[in-house]
Amino acid sequence: MIELSKAEFEVLDAVWLGYPATASEVIARLSDNKEWHEKTIKTLLSRLVKKGALSFEKQGRQYNYTPCIAREEYTLKESQSFIERFFNGRIAPLVSGFAKSEQLSQHDIDELKKVIDDWEKQQK
């Protein structure tokens, strides 16, 4: 699995918002939330390319970046390893922890029910 740092993931996330994307576009997208220097973001883009998370095509003197992996795929892998490390690979204890500490809203519960529902239909 490609291992990304927190900062690298945030940059990749900005690319996932719409791609191909130039560095300037990524920088613009991130400028709302983060106080990152332009140079910092470019460094992170380079590291993402080096790690095989982004590919690019030259377009004049700019690069057009495209993710090499889907967000769902990446987050699934991360979720798996997270749940493995903290909950022995089982997902219910995580949800249960949220429930116990009142982190769940009715909306969350409804969504979870739907997920379960869909899963059961799938099994049928």
Partner DNA sequence: ATTAATTGATTACGCGTGTAATCTTAACTT
Partner DNA sequence: AAGTTAAGATTACACGCGTAATCAATTAAT
Decide which of a second copy, DNA, none touches 39; Cβ closer than 5 to 8 Å per partner kind: DNA
Decide: 94 and 86 in contact? Cβ < 8 Å.
yes
The strand pair at 54-59 and 62-67 is best described as antiparallel
Shortest gap between Cβ of 13 and DNA (angstroms)?
13
Which of 16, 43, 71, 78 is in the footprint of DNA by CB under 7 A?
A: 43
Which of 7, 49, 68, 99 is in the footprint of a second copy by CB under 8 A?
A: 99
Single-letter residue type at 103: Q
Which of 6, 50, 58, 61 is in the footprint of a second copy by CB under 8 A?
A: 6
Question: What does 21-67 look like in DSSP terms, one character per residue?
Answer: B-HHHHHHHHHTT----HHHHHHHHHHHHHTTSEEEEEETTEEEEEE
Site for DNA in 74-113 (CB under 7 A): none
If one asks whether residue 6 binds DNA (CB under 7 A), the answer comes out as yes
Report the distance separating Cα 43 and Cα 32, nearest Å: 19
Q: Which residues bind DNA (CB under 7 A)?
A: 3-8, 22-24, 35-37, 39-40, 42-44, 46-47, 49, 60-63
